[in-house]
Amino acid sequence: MLISARIQPTHQHASKGVVLIITLFMMALVTLTTLTSIRGSLIEEKMAGHSRDRNKAQQAAEAALRHCLRLVIDNDPTLIGRATTPTAPPNQPVWESGSTWNDSSLYYEPVLLNVEAQLTEKPRCVLENMTTGGTSYRITSRGRGGSDFSVVMLQATYTNE
């Protein structure tokens, strides 16, 4: 019985070290879990911001397209006078060229006060005369959201017969 009395104190010292190691391991595990959830939240917040910018660009492009379509239907010279003719098939269409959207003589900026808030640029549209005599038009509108990375382009074709 004397031997068991001597072994018991040694066993208590060994168990105190194991508790410390287990506690440190659990703290590291909790820290990693917390950091992972914070990273996931930040990614979700970025995705929500990009989605909001894309929606703004979509709304701006749609509003510009509707406005420009109304001008074409009404035969308004402010837009009809800027109509271009499409290029030959091997060449790039007018609306695909980046220079078209930078040349104010080619695009039209409708005044859309309720849409232009917090956009990087005003929505624009380009009109292409698809037939001789001006009976068919292709209208392309472009809207940008809150950043330069969110760009939406929409097209409509109008034929006056």
Q: What is the mean pLDDT of the chain?
A: 82
Q: Give me the pLDDT at residue 129, please.
A: 86
Q: What pLDDT is recorded for position 130?
A: 84
Q: In terms of Cα–Cα distance, which of 51, 55, 72 is closest to 140? A: 72
Q: What is the pLDDT of residue 5?
A: 46
d(CA 137, CA 158): 5
d(CA 112, CA 65): 11
pLDDT at 85 over 60: yes
SS3 (DSSP) at 150: coil
Nearest to 95 by CA among 135, 134, 129: 129
Looking at the chain, the whole-number percentage of residues with pLDDT higher than 70 is 81
Determine which helix (DSSP H) or strand (DSSP E) holds 151, and give its type and residue range. Answer: strand 151-159
Q: Could you tell me the pTM of the whole model?
A: 0.71
Structure tokens that stand for 126 in this block: 């380009």
100-105 long-range contacts (CB < 8 A, ≥24 apart) are 100/126, 101/126, 101/142
Predicted confidence at residue 161, as pLDDT, reads 72
For residue 100, pLDDT beyond 90 = no
Token pair recorded at residue 15 = 């168990």
Which range is least confidently modeled, 61-65, 99-103, 104-108, 129-133? 129-133
**Quick one: which of 137, 143, 142 has its CA closest to 156?**
137
**Counting beta carbons within 10 angstroms of the beta carbon of residue 126, is it exposed (0 to 12), middle (13 to 18) or buried (19 or more)?**
buried
Within 8 A by CB and 6+ apart from 107, the residues are 82, 100, 101, 124, 125, 126
The answer to whether residues 43 and 36 touch, using CB atoms and an 8 Å cutoff, is no
